Amino acid sequence: MNEMNQGDQPPQSESIAIRQYRAPGIVVTWEPARCRHAAECIRGLPQVFNRDVRPWIDTSRASVDELVEVIDRCPSYALGYHADDGRMRTPPGEGDTSAT
Ligand code: SF4
């Protein structure tokens, strides 16, 4: 059950470059290498984004619309999402990662 949402440790071997945090209606993604610690996310939804706890993203504490609104402010595109309603945010130039 908790195979996916505990991914807040440093990447260990190969391909955990993007971590996923699932909630009803949305999957939030976070790419640590892109994070510039601008804290837009923490300011916008401190109950969701909290660096003092693990995992540091708790998607259960906000609605899909709230998550989308704040994640759209992430200047580095470290944060992204794939919502069930089709909304999506991925880093520019990396194309759509939704295939498969
Ligand atoms: S807003 Fe984006 S760049 Fe800033 S701390 Fe949050 S994830 Fe990192």
**What distance in angstroms lies between residue 7's CA and the mean position of ligand 1's atoms?**
17
pLDDT at 16: 65
- Choosing from 41, 57, 67 the residue with most ligand 1 atoms within 8 A of its CB, the one to mutate for a pocket test is 41
pLDDT of 11? 41
Matching CATH number, 19-89, of 3.30.70.20, 3.40.50.300, 3.30.559.10, 3.40.50.2300 = 3.30.70.20
Question: For ligand 1, is residue 71 a contact (CB within 6 Å)?
Answer: no
**3 state SS for the chain:** CCCCCCCCCCCCCCCCCCEEEEECCEEEEECHHHCCCCCHHHHHCCCCECCCCCCCECHHHCCHHHHHHHHCCCCCCCEEEEECCCCEECCCCCCCCCCC
- The response to whether residue 74 sits with its C-beta less than 6 Å from ligand 1 reads yes
From first to last of its 100 residues, the chain has per-residue pLDDT tens of 444 444 454 444 434 699 999 999 999 999 999 999 889 999 999 999 999 999 999 999 999 999 999 999 999 999 999 999 999 999 988 755 554 4
